[in-house]
Amino acid sequence: MPKEFPVVWFQGAACSGCAISVLNSLSPTIKNVLLDELVPGKHINLKFMPTIMTGSGKIVMDILLETQKAKDYILIVEGAIPENGFGDIGEKSMESVVEELAEDASAIVSLGSCSAFGGIPKGNPNPTKVKSVEKFLDFKNIKKPVINIPGCPPHPDWFVGTVANILLFGIPELDELSRPRLFYGKLIHENCERRPYFDKGKFAKKFSDEGCLYELGCKGPYTNADCPIRSWNSGVNWCIQNGSPCIGCVEPEFPDLEAMYKKTKWNNK
């Protein structure tokens, strides 16, 4: 019998886009992830995930409680954590539920930029006073290993690859922002197909122009992710290949650093 790894997927202040992205994983498919052995001899047992659970109410909350009592599960948090009064689940505040779940988890994965850094819910003026998972755990003085997988949304490979790494080798090597170096180790700028234009000083002045998108607000020079070599939409394209500047969605400053299509502040120093 394969070893079972129970997983609880908690959804906080977010749009569910991260869940939808991961559910569209190409290889392995989400069916393979949930029903097969993701790595030989090891199987993920997804106990709780509101987006795809068919049940609701007390029945599913009891499953969550039973999993929590058994302990040693992987806790995946999608979305930021709002202050009390701005989000409830099972007639309890999101804050209190995440606090209880985090205490008994073996490891925590913050999926998406909202969970990793606050993301759009934390955008100025942050009306619901949301926190990222790491900052929330620090505030509650809960010491647990946290892996951040930011992105708006994150690429499905970043999530599935990280989970597979955990099952095979334990927590992967992380950067200073708790992101796996395997996926966030290099700048967009380093592998961008328009990099030769930048080196030659040929910059696009409007979106349909040939040239580097730097002058149109591209944040690739300070954004760490492997989008240029991985691509999106089942490998079809990615933002810059589609004519849009990188908006830096995997960085902590997103979305407040600068308007999407305006040169970044660091660029104007």
d(CA 119, CA 117) in angstroms, rounded, equals: 6
- Smallest CA-to-CA distance from 95 within 8, 12, 7, 15 is with 12
Each residue of 99-122: pLDDT tens digit? 999 999 999 999 999 999 999 999
Confidence bin at 262 (pLDDT 50/70/90): confident
Share of the chain above pLDDT 70, in %: 98
Mean per-residue pLDDT, 31-53: 91
Each residue of 188-215: pLDDT tens digit? 999 999 999 999 999 999 998 999 999 9
Mean per-residue pLDDT, 1-12: 93
Report how far apart, in Å, the C-alpha atoms of 90 and of each of 50, 94, 96, 221 are: 12, 9, 11, 43
Ranges of beta strands (E only) in 141-213 are: 146-149
Q: Which pLDDT belongs to residue 96?
A: 96
Mean per-residue pLDDT, 2-12: 94
Whether the pLDDT of residue 265 is over 70: the answer is: no
Q: Which pLDDT belongs to residue 107?
A: 93
* Residues labelled as active-site residues: 15, 18, 114, 152, 189, 192, 212, 218, 227, 239, 246, 249
Q: Which pLDDT belongs to residue 247?
A: 94
**Block residue for tokens 């998108």:** 213
Whether the pLDDT of residue 236 is over 60: the answer is: yes
- Smallest CA-to-CA distance from 133 within 18, 265, 51, 266 is with 18
Confidence bin at 38 (pLDDT 50/70/90): confident
Each residue of 54-64: pLDDT tens digit? 999 999 999 99
What's the token pair of residue 231? 């691509």
Q: How far apart are the first and last CA of the chain?
A: 59
